[in-house]
Structure formats: structure tokens, C-alpha cells
Amino acid sequence: MTKKERIMNVFEHKDVDYLPSQITFSDRKRDQLFAETMGFASEYELFEYFENHIYWTYSGDDTAIFYRNDIELMKQLEEEGYTIVDEEDGIIFDRWGGGLVVEADGICWIPGIFEGDEKANKIRRKYLPEKFIRLMEMPLKEGVAAYEAPDPLEAGNLKWLIRDKDGVEGDLCVIPAGYVGTYERAYTLLGWEQYMTEIALNPELVSQMMDKITDHKIALGKKKAELGYKIIHHGDDLGTQLSGFFSKDMFREIILPQYKKMFKSFKENGQYIFMHSCGCLMDYLPDLIDIGLDGLEPIQPCNDLKRLKEEFGKELVFMGGIDSQKLPFLTPGEVKEMALEVMTILGKDGGYIIAPSQEIMWDVPDENVVALVDTIKEYRDKVM
């Protein structure tokens, strides 16, 4: 059974010989350093050591999210019109007008173009096209109405998706990443505080912004299906460590209609829907399953893993669960104990991709990464 077949069998709720797994660092620089420490000569050898099953590919617009500190690649994308590199301030701008902080250990955005932050806007005036400068200077309502999402179907935006569509070395399952989804993209433009204020006081304005983003996602999703991608990914962090960001009523009235329109299109394309969300989602899962959700990652322990498996394990594929917040502080033996416990809970009866509850950050010792890999390999066929 190939790695791609194993992932597809999990989504189709078929038997597998062992549970697939996935380990990802939060920073591509860590990939290089860990590979050097372990004596690997290439990224491929690192993937082989991890025995990862998924290869994430990206649209031109999404590449900066994970490769923002690869300045040479960012400059190449700048020549192609997909980034603007501000080395002085350590920021990579994308075609949406968002600015990513290069050296952040995780995804960190500067204040949005509609946020009114003078320091961020001063930087934007030095680098961004005039169309964004005009938007910054408009009243919010006019600016949102005038905002245009980038064209998702430009050839350069599809370059990596086309390159990887027929598979990559190692029989990995190639999935186009869809991080920074509908509501996340909206708040990177409006600003977090303003987004949360407007969604309560002026939900029509927020919905107008999200409509533009949803239409972009639908068009790109259709193209991904035409290229042969059977699993489509969507990312929106909906939860804190205690609960969702939104009340059930607000979620159903404002966020869910966007997802319903988008998921309907994905299902018409014949795609499995694999969603990323950090935080506690228990209140939202029945609605998300009802509109077609097939899989969820990265499954953080705040969701109550036993209840999650018991209540939703027949409908959903889970990926994650191994507490990445604890990984920096445990001994290798404790890592093994924790990982095995999670694998036993979520791996019962299959439907599980073994993984940490978030990408592995810089503060996790190499020996704990090794302990996690060893535990996965030892027990992945015994916990189903």
C-alpha cells in the first residue's frame, strides 16, 4: 500500500495496514537544521525518516505563508508578482495586501490595510501598489466595497499545483494547502479587533468582505479538482483553548453560510473536505459535519479527545492530538507515553492520521522529535 493509498483509504473509511502519520516543523529553516543534525542530505531524506504521508503544495498566493523566511524564493515570487519583499522591516507582502512577519515562529501578520495602524501603513506606502494605498485612505465601508480579491486562476498562482498534481517522490499524498481561510483572511485585512467589533455591530460589512474571499476559494477549489486533487484543504482557526471564538448563533448566522456555499461547491467537485482549525471546536462540529466536513486537523487536546472520538469518530477523520505544547518540556520517555496514549484513543477503529496537535516549534528538543518518530513507528499498527 502506498502512502497516498493509505491516506485515501483513511478518508474513505477503508482498512489500512497501519495508521499514516505526519510531522511538520513550524519553520522550514528547522527542516534544514534537523536534517543536518541527523545527517540527512536532503528534504526528501527527512520526509523518509519521518515517514510522512502528506506533501503540502501551495498556490502562488499561499507560498509566502510557510516559506516567508526563504528570501531568495520570496524574491523570485516578487519577480512573478506574488510577493513584495521588505527586507528592511522583515515583512513579506502578498497579493491580498497582507504583510507576514518573516522571523515569527508561526504565522504573524502586521496590522491589516483597513486597520488604520499608522506604522504599518507607513511601511505599506513605501512598497504596495497604489490600489492598496487608496483603500487605506477610504472610509471602511467604501474600502470594503472597493476591495478586489486577487485572481486565483492566474498561471503563476497555479504553477506549484500543476507541478505536483501527478505526485511527488515517495508516493506521498499531495494536498494543496488552504490555510488563511475565509474569516481569517477577512480579519488579516480588517484587523482582529475591528473584525470582532464589526461582526457584532455591522455583520453585513463583514459578510461582504468574506463573500469576496469565499468566491476566490470556490474558484480555486474548482481548479484544484480539475487538476485531480481529491482532498481539498481549508484553514480557519475557530477556537481558543476554552471554546470557539463565536457563539453558536453568531457562527450559524455569519460564518456557517460562507462555509455552506464553499463546501457545497467542493462536494460538487467530488472532493473530500479536510479542515484546519486550532482550538476547541466541539460546539461547531455538528454543523460542520452537516454541511460536508470529512476531516479535521490538528486536533488539540482542549477538545476532549475521548469524547471527540466517541461522538464524531464515525463521521470524521482526525489528524493531530499529540500535545505539541507539552513537547518542549517532557523527557523522551514521557513523550513516548503521551504519544501512545493519544494514538490509542484516536486510532481505535482507524480514521486517524497520527500527528502532533500543532506544527513543532523551535523550542522542542531534537531528542523529543526522535522519541515521537520512534513511538509512531513502533505502535502505528497496534492501536487501530
Q: Please write the tens of the pLDDT for every residue from 267-292.
A: 999 999 999 999 999 999 999 999 99
Question: In this structure, what C-alpha cell is assigned to residue 125?
Answer: 506606502
The predicted structure's pLDDT at residue 365: 97
Burial class (CB in 10 A: 0-12, 13-18, 19+), 315: middle
Run of H or E including 57: strand 54-57
In which band, very low, low, confident or very high, does the pLDDT at 295 lie, cut at 50, 70 and 90?
Answer: very high
Write down the residue that cell numbers 492520521 correspond to.
353
User: Side chain identity at 330, as an amino acid letter?
Assistant: L
Q: Are the beta carbons of 362 and 27 closer than 8 angstroms?
A: yes
Q: What is the pLDDT of residue 36?
A: 93
pLDDT band with cut points at 50, 70 and 90 for residue 43: confident
Categorize the per-residue pLDDT at 28 as very low, low, confident or very high, splitting at 50, 70 and 90. Answer: confident
Cα–Cα distance for residue pair 82/61, rounded to 1 Å: 6
Instruction: Name, in order, each residue with C-beta under 8 angstroms of 182's C-beta and a sequence gap of 6 or more.
Output: 210, 213, 214, 217, 234, 236, 255, 258, 259, 262
Considering the domain 3-70+147-379 in this protein, what is its CATH number?
Answer: 3.20.20.210
Q: Is the pLDDT of residue 104 over 90?
A: no
User: Comparing 346 with 30, which gets the higher pLDDT?
Assistant: 346
pLDDT band for 138, please (50, 70, 90 cuts): very high
Q: Quote the CA–CA distance of 371 and 51 in Å, as a whole number.
A: 14
- pLDDT at residue 170 in the model: 82
Report in angstroms the alpha-carbon separations of 119 from 111, 113, 340.
9, 11, 48
pLDDT for 323-360, tens place per residue?
999 999 999 999 999 999 999 999 999 999 999 999 99
pLDDT of residue 42: 84
- For the chain, percent helix, then strand, then coil, each to nearest 5? 50, 15, 40
Of 61-70, 152-161, 209-218, 343-352, least confident by mean pLDDT is 61-70
| Residue 373, C-beta contacts closer than 8 angstroms, at least 6 positions apart | 23, 49, 50, 51
Task: Reduce the DSSP state of residue 322 to 3 states and report it.
Answer: strand
Percent of the chain clearing pLDDT 90 (strictly above): 93
User: DSSP secondary-structure letter at 277?
Assistant: -
Measured distance CA(146)–CA(201) in Å, rounded: 21
* pLDDT value, residue 280: 95
Instruction: Give me the mean pLDDT over the 209-231 stretch.
Output: 98
Does residue 8 register a pLDDT over 80? yes
d(Cα 38, Cα 36) in Å, to the nearest integer? 5
On the question of pLDDT at 105 being above 80, the answer is: no
pLDDT at 44: 82
3-class DSSP assignment, residue 374: helix
Can you say whether residue 279 is alpha, beta or left, with left for phi > 0 and alpha for psi between -120 and 50 degrees? Answer: left
Neighbours of 276 (CB within 10 A): 22
Q: Indicate if the pLDDT at residue 22 is higher than 80.
A: yes
* Average per-residue pLDDT for the chain: 96
Adjacent-strand bridge partners of 272: 231
What band does 237 get if pLDDT is binned at 50, 70 and 90? very high
Average pLDDT score over residue span 225-229? 97
pLDDT at 11: 98
